[in-house]
Amino acid sequence: MSNPIAPHGATRLNPLFVEDADERGWLAEEAESLPSIAVASAAASNAVMLGGGYFTPLAGFMDKADALSVGRSMQTADGLFWPTPVLNLVHDAGAVAAGARIALRDPNVDGAPVLAIQEVTAVEAFSATEFDGLTAQVYGTTDPAHPGVADFQAQGTVVLSGPVQVLNFSYFETEFPETFRTAVAIRQEIAERGWHRVVAFQTRNPMHRAHEELCRMAMERLEADGVVIHMLLGKLKPGDIPAPVRDATIRKMVDLYFPPNSAMITGYGFDMLYAGPREAVLHAIFRQNMGASHFIVGRDHAGVGDYYEPFEAQEVFDDIPADALQIELFKADHTAWSKKLNKVVMMREAPGHAMEDFVLLSGTAVREMLGSGIAPPPEFSRPEVAQILIDHYRGRE
């Protein structure tokens, strides 16, 4: 059964994982004799995403011209709509030159095994001015206190571009066997379930009642067949809830509170950029490539701190070319339990409410409650979900 939503910029997915086991074996042998580079975690996660087809139609890491063009105009040099640079940045390329085949070693797995082989088409360097300009365009700031900026600027300014052959999916497949899925696998499962209208929900946090109800609202209003809950499994900033704990809370919520065959629990191997609007657009491309027809974007999507306006990640979609993406947005407001209506609502859809009419808790307050063994009120968090988080905060995971 074909999916009505085409991949981005292509008629079919372009996963760069080497499917044939024999070929993978030969390439792994070859890799041992190649010059090797221990890449940054961000480059490793880019390779995983290239391998899984999420970065369709890209064939590998961008060169300097593509990266600068993406920064300026959200288009590669040849006109492909793309919001963020996909780079393999290093501090020093050493003897690696254009034309070389190199082994990319995984910094996130013990022993730094080979993750992919790259054919280097160019070795280029950003000037300090170019790199700061690109940072400002993608992240909206060059403030080193921004976690995405800090990570990006720590990777180096030398660009190794060229196509890759991906040999494995890093730690994601082994640590999250029930959850990690490629775009290829999610498209296949959507087809097997017979879904056509599919809502995607991005999360890097446990899902509380507001998130749960937001998924339900989107499905009902869009008359969707199901929701794909798609959690980020890669690196986050310090203090964020670890992926295994998030995974457990989401599974518990879906098991208890969603009808059968209405929610798919999946995850993907990418390090969070915290790039606000630009990352929201990238997230939409991921979801189009995995076969979703609609994507929920809410308040402060992919943001951090006060670097972005509350709805900037929705507004950016109003400024991109009309034909840039096939996937459609479901624009959500902040959702919370209304004491007046006795249910979760979008706050903008609840006239006659003051702030005290909603059950609102700050992240700090929730963490303090959970750390003290106190479950947030059931209007905020399902008790079964809260218990998993209490166990985590109190060291009993």
Active site residues: 204-205
Q: Which residue has the tokens 């060169």?
A: 63
| Strand ordering across the sheet containing 358-359 | 343-346, 335-338, 358-359
Contact present, 225 and 200 (Cβ < 8 Å): no
Q: Tokens in use for 255?
A: 């098991």
Identity of the amino acid at 173 = E
Rg (CA), the chain: 21
Residue closest to 214 by CA, chosen among 197, 233, 229, 195: 229
* Structure tokens belonging to residue 286: 């991921």
Whole-number Cα distances in Å, 205 to 47, 87, 225, 352: 24, 26, 24, 30
CA distance 121 to 112: 24
Preceding amide of 310 cis, omega within 30 = no
Q: For residues 203 and 223, what is the distance between their CA atoms, to the nearest angstrom? A: 22
Beta-ladder partners of 124? 159
**What's the first-to-final CA gap in the chain, in angstroms?**
41
Helix (H, G, I), strand (E, B) or coil at 201: strand
Backbone angles phi, psi at 298, to 5 degrees: -110, -160
